[in-house]
Structure 1
Amino acid sequence: MTDGFLTGQSGDSSRVTLRQMATHDQEEFIELVRASADLHQPWMSLPVTPEDFQDHLGRFDGQSAEGLFVCRRDTGAIVGYVAVNSIIRGRFQSASIGYAAFAPSAGQGYMSEGLGLVLRHAFEELRLHRLEAQIQPGNHASLKLVQRLGFRYEGNSPELLFIDGAWRDHERWAITTSMIEGFAGDPHPTLPVR
């Protein structure tokens, strides 16, 4: 993993780029999480101490999970966070995503652009076939976001994830490479021939 930008740096009109989460982001990340507490409750719990940040960062090994920041192209400021979790290869070629906008820049469309870049990164660079998002039914902003990006509703899972001190119901949404018009990426080498 590198600290450099992954995609969206040049050749497109997006206002954002993606880069991998790194140790030097600790102070800015914690400050943004604290400033966004009202926005994130009860939808998600993110690290708010240096120790929690380091533990969180340690999960992202580049093989089974990646931690990404959505950053403004003009300033480099972090505007959102995306975790690509539970990357499974072989016949599945799938991962789940979790994401959050940060309050100082929420509602300005940065996460729509950023998640669009995450889809491109996941399907072209990671060569996944499927991405899933699990979203609490009351999180209307998040539901609208995945719908805008073309995810399909696949069902409801009661008490799926433990968030904010309780097991929360989640809707399951997914997108596959076959749902993206014109996509012709190469399969990952771990995909069996038959």
Structure 2
Amino acid sequence: MSHDHQKYAVVGERVALRPYAADDAEEFTAAARDSRALHRPWLFPPQTAEAYATYRRTLEEDPARLGFLVCDRAADGRIAGFVNINNIVHGAFLSGALGYGAFAHAAGRGLLGEGLRLVVGHAFGALGLHRLEANIQPGNAASRALVMRTGFRLEGYSPAMLFVDGAWRDHERWALTSEMTVPAAPR
């Protein structure tokens, strides 16, 4: 599927970021369904057109949320994953919380890592944020490795922090501030 008509917000070497669009529902939900084994029990992106429409509208209408699709430039803009900034707070805090996921067809290729670095640069640049957090369940080794490669530091442990998959789950708090150096993308 060609996404040449889509306007990219940020362009990197291998990926580009763009907002979610209504006509992405079929591609996004198919990729989410194909990625269930990769995502469970950590992540539950929308798998139906109706759930996707609600999810996209929430990202568009809530000023405390901003969502980006990570698109593979070598695959004609195919959606490789997503990175959302949630709970954006301005004022003295200038902070947001990240949510993200790679789709199975793109996992292990570094595309989400590049996308995350682009979102971090955009958040600390154009958005003027000072701090980003990623809250990760301790057993999610892939997510922990991703934030470590991106330069996040482990700041703490929060018991029963988020309600995920029917229960309150413990999370590690990883954070990055605008003063910290984000590592360059591996070549």
Which ranges of structure 2 fall in alignment gaps of 5 or more residues? 1-5, 183-187
RMSD of the alignment, in Å?
1.3
Change (3 A) 1:35 1:139: same
Question: Helix, strand or coil: the match of 1:157?
Answer: strand
Shift of 1:164: 1.4
2:10 alignment counterpart: 7
2:140 matched to 1:139? yes
In 1: Cα distance, 2:90 partner to 2:77 partner: 32
In 1: Cα distance, 2:37 partner to 2:169 partner: 18
Shift of 1:98: 0.5
In 2: Cα distance, 1:79 partner to 1:113 partner: 11
Deviations 1:135-184 (A, max 9, x none): 01011111011011110111011111111121111100000001137xxx
Task: Report the residue type matching 1:26 in the other structure.
Answer: A
Task: Report the residue type matching 1:139 in the other structure.
Answer: N
1:175 alignment counterpart: 176
Deviations 1:62-96 (A, max 9, x none): 73111111101121000011111011000000000
2:94 matched to 1:78? no
1:68 alignment counterpart: 68
1:184 alignment counterpart: none
In 2: Cα distance, 1:180 partner to 1:127 partner: 16
Identity %: 49
Task: Report the residue type matching 1:107 in the other structure.
Answer: G
Query: How many matched pairs?
Result: 175
Q: Write the mapping of 1:78-97 to structure 2, written as runs, cut at 5 A.
A: 78-97=79-98
Which ranges of structure 1 fall in alignment gaps of 5 or more residues? 182-194
In 2: Cα distance, 1:78 partner to 1:47 partner: 14
Question: Helix, strand or coil: the match of 2:145?
Answer: helix
2:185 alignment counterpart: none
Task: Report the residue type matching 1:106 in the other structure.
Answer: A
Shift of 1:46: 1.2
In 2: Cα distance, 1:103 partner to 1:90 partner: 38
In 1: Cα distance, 2:175 partner to 2:79 partner: 25
2:56 alignment counterpart: 57
Question: Helix, strand or coil: the match of 2:151?
Answer: coil
